[in-house]
Chains A and B, each alone.
Chain A
């Protein structure tokens, strides 16, 4: 008899984690499975980190509805889950007079979607607000509700809070197929065996089409992965203090220049259709394209400012918008389909998926309730995921205090980003333990500075090996097969 759950969530990205967190409020036995060695390893940790105001999605689409519904939820969510979030507003910037007309259209679209507070800013005012901006700026749309966050921190905070409230998370656990009784889902097959359940939530992101096809749902639905390449700039060299979008085109929101909650500027993404869903390589052509796009907004930006490269793959789907009269394909799927029983189907959740995550999670709760599931609130549900101190954000007096309380906070492991052993140990011992270098990197921001881990890597490998009680040869970058070290110096196999 396999382990049995009320709900199994497939996929530990921001959507799966947020759904787990929202469902953890109710008396349900919940399992979240993730095929990788850590949660949030897909698009959730490689995107623009923007909490969109909501003027961009086509009116009446699910994308527009979810974006605008989620927007006001972020302040409370950030407060409860303690992740970095700043509602600093964003700009869509028109360069030259011919782009000015697009701004009016955006404001109009924002009004239709229900985005509050948008208005035009003159070119002069824009030059004053962002001194680095292209002097040919002719005007901009200001959307005060736009925000920035650390998207991985959002994912891990939501998942940890779910674990605090009883959800079980299994990593390196890959979905292989459904167990059906007639039209009813009764469980799933994984590389770690069978698990019984009454409900499955498909939050498989890039692979959500394949998962729903296994249940016989929407055979025509297909994900076309679109890779976006990004470049992180050295904050000591160039700093942009705002979130700047170009005017959108048919290809999407375009290449933006944005500040991050870590104080760096990032530029990107481009949009390249790829075939291998796991292909997250960066290309020379991509760098040129992104840099050119960014220079349209900030001409002084140069290749010499780049300190890190990354790429993320967006799960672009082909689902038609369900609002009659709206001609749009590529909308979100958020449904309990009729063809089978026991599936909550989420698909095509690309941008603004991160922004929409809390609204999507709330909608999953509502869909379950509407389908007759009795959701009884736990009396002791705890919405607060406690913060963990970040040494670099403390004053010297506070630093002295944490070092006296926990000696490990005195040992700096990452110089550039000022991350201490105490912080790393806390992540290794957290509700969802960080067991790989990348897992620690995403949680602490270690190794993301100018030396890109050259100094900290041997020290982190050593720490992980000691703390996990395994040999350093078993320590990996991102799970099995990505070991850093292969043998002892003096042991030669001929």
Chain B
């Protein structure tokens, strides 16, 4: 795909938040909208959530995850949203420059606005500090879900699941339906952490035992999980001696929470709320960095996908507005570009509304000394607009150059002017 020189809105991630943001950006007047997705297709984690329960609030239908995603994918593509698949964003600058790579391609993309929609990731064994050996057979529920539902492979035959969150319970049902045995769901809290209806239709329906106030005391097995030692805990989460039990199994699934995924946000200089792990946002879902918006689980972890989409719509709309105002500003302003041997130019931009009576004085510095006569030239593309002769230039001595009313027609035509040092 041939990339545009500059996009109105680039959306990072194509889960429900990203898809909605791209759609809303398009619908609100953004012309060039690009989604960058690290997987080989659009849809994000919804594609592996093949269970139903999605869309009840905003689509008024009870849909499986892939169907919910498909509707948004179809809408986005119909609106002409551009897409880069199998592409990983590796860096974002506060100036909204995006670096990304895919097989055989390295991208350097400039955007007027960015929507961060990277979603969240799962808490790991280390983050809940699970003791024991480190064999194969300990997976996060989401990793197992991808294998079972998308790649078509079962990571085990006898499971213990730690955590009664929705993904954990839904995986318990999924594995049972696919012929595996789920021995136990353990939950360290004294209450269920997922939805009650998932407890009924994922655990009760299949007689899968749930033990509240229980956790994993130790993982057993050197190469592959052989068993889990469980233990009951008291109100202060301290293990109660004498309550441990060895549960033979070959796999331990972890469903112990989700954390907003903000590595890229940090790189872009976006301030994060330490309590949540997501960016500070205002009511436009704009982050602390101007023109960078965030939507969905990247901000905080939602329990219904419908609200993620809604946040995506909101952020996409805000991003489009921002991009359009940037466009207007770019039309109104002429950018001063440092050319050959120019370190910088002040002002960096000229407001076309000021092109009236007064002269405009450019102040600039050169990079390297030239001890022979030179011209300081101002050009719009190849067209020479103004020129000043200097006997020499040195980095330590500021150079000035004046644009006067007879240059203003030329300036008005330009979108950017390049200043360069040319030998006489």
Contacts and interface: CB of A to CB of B under 8 A. Distances in A.
Whether both chains belong to one complex is answered with yes
Interface of A: 232, 236, 278-284, 286-287, 303, 306-310, 396, 399-400, 403-404, 407-412, 415-416, 418, 420-421, 450-452, 454-455, 457-458, 462, 472-473, 476-490, 492, 494
A411 B103 contact: yes
A412 B101 contact: yes
19 contacts: A278-B222, A281-B132, A282-B131, A283-B132, A306-B126, A403-B105, A407-B104, A411-B86, A412-B38, A416-B263, A450-B263, A457-B139, A458-B143, A458-B147, A481-B223, A483-B224, A488-B154, A489-B148, A490-B178
B164 interface: no
Given A281-B133, A477-B135, A487-B154, A403 B143 contact: no
A486 B38 contact: no
Given A396-B91, A458-B151, A411 B224 contact: no
Given A411-B101, A454-B143, A399 B106 contact: yes
A412 B90 contact: yes
B108 A396 contact: yes
A485 B129 contact: no
A332 B332 CA distance: 77
A101 B192 CA distance: 55
Contacts of B139: 454, 457
B153 A472 contact: yes
A283 B132 CA distance: 6
A404 B179 CA distance: 46
Contact of A308 (B104, B126, B224, B250): B126
Given A396-B108, A487-B153, A482 B223 contact: yes
Contacts of B178: 489-490, 492
A451 B122 contact: yes
Contacts of A308: 126
Given A411-B101, A452-B126, A455-B121, A485 B108 contact: no
B163 to A, nearest CB: 14
B127 A307 contact: yes
Interface of B: 38, 86, 88, 90-91, 99, 101-106, 108, 121-122, 124-127, 129, 131-137, 139-140, 142-143, 146-149, 151-157, 178-179, 218-219, 222-224, 250, 263, 266
A232 B125 CA distance: 13
Contacts of B125: 309, 452
A286 B102 CA distance: 42
Contacts, number: 152
A469 B88 CA distance: 27
A284 B106 contact: no
Contacts of B91: 396
A454 B38 contact: no
Nearest to B128: A306
A408 B142 CA distance: 26
Given A281-B132, A410-B105, A477-B135, A485 B154 contact: yes
A488 B124 contact: no
Given A455-B121, A477-B135, A489 B105 contact: no
B129 A287 contact: yes
B103 A408 contact: yes
Given A281-B133, A403-B105, A407-B103, A307 B153 contact: no
A482 B146 contact: no
Given A307-B127, A458-B146, A415 B154 contact: no
A189 B274 CA distance: 59
A280 B224 CA distance: 14
Contacts of B101: 399, 403, 409-412, 420
A485 B147 contact: yes
A482 B263 CA distance: 31
